[in-house]
Amino acid sequence: MESTVVLKAGPQEYYHSKGILNQLPQLISERKINRLFVIHGERSLQAAMPYLPSLENFEIQYEKYRGECSLNEIKRISAIAKQYKAEGLLGIGGGKVADLVKAVAYQLQIPEILVPTLASNCAAFSAVSIIYNDEGIHVDSLSFPKATNLVLIEPEIILNSPVEYTIAGIGDTLAKWYEGVSRLNQIQTKTIPMQLSFEMMHKCREFLFEFGEQSIKDAQTGKLTEAFINVIDTNIAVAGLVGGFGSIFAKSVGAHAFFNAATAIPGTKTILHGSLVAFGILVQLALEKKIDELESILPFYRKIGLPTTLQDIHLDDSNTEALQLIAAKMTSQTSRIHSLPFKVTADDALWAILTVNRITSSYSY
């Protein structure tokens, strides 16, 4: 296996503290940006507005994205920003907004500033954009030569977001360990960057098991605590460092293969990315025949509200057609599930999905 690691460790600058957005005007000016183009979701802009300082010294145009980071949306936003002669981008929102902004910034070769309003993934930190079609079905990913220029995290914005997104972020971040270790264990001689990536994978799991449950309790009561702040940094920064150090050797495997396939089923549309990935972790563990490990993390899933059964993700073991479609897509020729150190067929994937549901449906918590 090729052992060349391309390091894109993370954003050029990453700030996480209360009141950090008060520094936004200065940080924009430092980047020689006068004409600022703001890309946002409707709810995300509303969530951020109370924390945004006056930007009256800059020319600003706002554009609401249409809900997906698709090639069509990248093209549409890029054209508008280019016509406006934008000198820099400000992205306010969750993972899809972050991915969209990174792609547009690359197209126009201008700096981007990201203000995450959710801690549901590491999109703000990574040099990758996940691409969907306009219907929300996963189709591809784009990798960029460098990560984001600037990330600014106001923790109170994330604290005020629906707690389900932070829970989903925990699920997505846990996958860094379960997927990453399956890849790196196949490499006999690991380079130093690979070893750093491995450490970050382990820290993702360690920090989430240490702070995850308390962080969700704190979020549910509106308390900005050390546990909650630690989970924000784990979901965004530590998770991002896994790929930043590990490059292609830290890419997703079985858990995200399940997510990618499940997006083709209409019933899963309302299930968050990280929640589907969390179920995918269980499916991957079943494929690896690690049933004891699968069962060992179920209490944690239950405590913080991650899905454990098909019913939890709006599927049903009696819907054979839907599950067979997921299994087929999970094992398509280009699927990353084939990075596992053994052959996986559609029948294997279907067996694993049903096995997880059988175990979790009868598990005594």
- Number of residues in the chain: 365
Q: Tell whether residue 88 is among the known ligand binding residues.
A: no
Residue 301: both structure tokens together: 């899933």
How does strand 150-153 pair with strand 138-143?
unpaired
**Residue 29, C-beta contacts closer than 8 angstroms, at least 6 positions apart:** none
Cβ neighbours of 109 (radius 10 Å): 6
In the block, tokens 């690691």 appear at 5
119 vs 9, more confident = 119
167/153 same-domain check: no
76 and 119 share one domain = yes
Same domain? For 77 and 45 the reply is: yes
- Token pair belonging to 142: 């784009």
Does the structure show a pLDDT above 80 at 126? Answer: yes
Is 273 marked as binding a ligand? yes
CA distances from 112 to 99, 131, 152, 166, 317 (A): 11, 18, 11, 24, 44
For residues 145 and 52, membership in a common domain is answered with yes
Q: Is the pLDDT of residue 230 over 60?
A: yes
CA distances from 65 to 38, 70, 132, 140, 333 (A): 10, 10, 14, 19, 32
Instruction: Determine, yes or no, domain membership for 2.
Output: no
264 assigned ligand-binding residue? no
Where do the DSSP E strands lie in 112-173? 112-116, 128-132, 138-143, 150-153
- In whole angstroms, give the CA distance from residue 58 to residue 56: 5
**What is the distance between the alpha carbons of residues 111 and 359, in angstroms, rounded to a whole number?**
48
Reported as a single tens digit per residue, the pLDDT across 315-350 is 999 999 999 999 999 999 999 999 999 999 999 999
Q: Tens digits of per-residue pLDDT, 130-160? A: 999 999 998 999 999 999 999 999 999 999 9
User: 329 and 253 in one domain?
Assistant: yes
Say how far apart CA 327 and CA 262 lie, in whole Å. 9
Tell me which residue range forms the domain holding 111: 13-159
Backbone φ, ψ for residue 87 (5° rounding): -105, -10
- CATH number at 172 reads 1.20.1090.10
User: Considering only CA atoms, which of 303, 292, 136, 161 is closest in space to residue 235?
Assistant: 161
Domain annotation covers residue 6: no
* Within-domain flag for 83: yes
Could you tell me the CA-to-CA distances from 61 to 12, 15, 36 in Å, in that order? Answer: 25, 24, 7
Are 78 and 204 in a shared domain? no
The verdict on whether residue 126 carries a ligand-binding annotation is: yes
Among residues 50, 62, 49, 57, which one has the least CA distance to residue 29?
57
Single out the residue in 104, 124, 159 at which a domain terminates.
Answer: 159
95 known member of a binding site: yes
Q: Are residues 193 and 249 in the same domain?
A: yes
Q: Is 172 annotated as a binding residue?
A: yes
Q: Establish if 48 belongs to a structural domain.
A: yes
99 labelled as ligand-binding?
yes
pLDDT tens per residue, range 31-50: 999 999 999 998 999 999 99
CATH number at residue 29: 3.40.50.1970
Q: Smallest Cα–Cα separation from 159: which of 104, 105, 96, 224?
A: 224
Q: How many domains does the chain have?
A: 2
pLDDT of residue 246: 84
Same domain, 84 and 205: no
Same domain, 150 and 170: no
Residue 249 has pLDDT above 50, yes or no: yes
Whole-angstrom Cα distance, residue 15 to residue 290? 38
Judge if 152 and 182 occupy the same domain: no
* Statement to judge: residues 227 and 327 lie in one domain: yes
| Whether pLDDT at 7 is above 60 | yes
Residue 255 and residue 283 in contact, taking contact as beta carbons nearer than 8 Å: yes
> Is residue 1 situated within a structural domain?
no
Q: What are phi and psi of 7, to 5 degrees?
A: -80, 120
Q: Greatest CA span in the chain, whole angstroms? A: 61
Nearest to 179, CA basis, from 282, 251, 243? 251
Q: What is the mean pLDDT of the chain?
A: 95
Tell whether 87 and 151 lie within a shared domain.
Answer: yes
pLDDT, residue 1, reads 43
Q: CA 59 → CA 25, 28, 56, 265, distances in Å?
A: 12, 12, 7, 43
- Among the three residues 159, 176, 205, which one is the final residue of a domain in this structure? 159
> According to the annotation, is 117 in a ligand binding site?
yes
| Residue 97 assigned ligand-binding role | yes
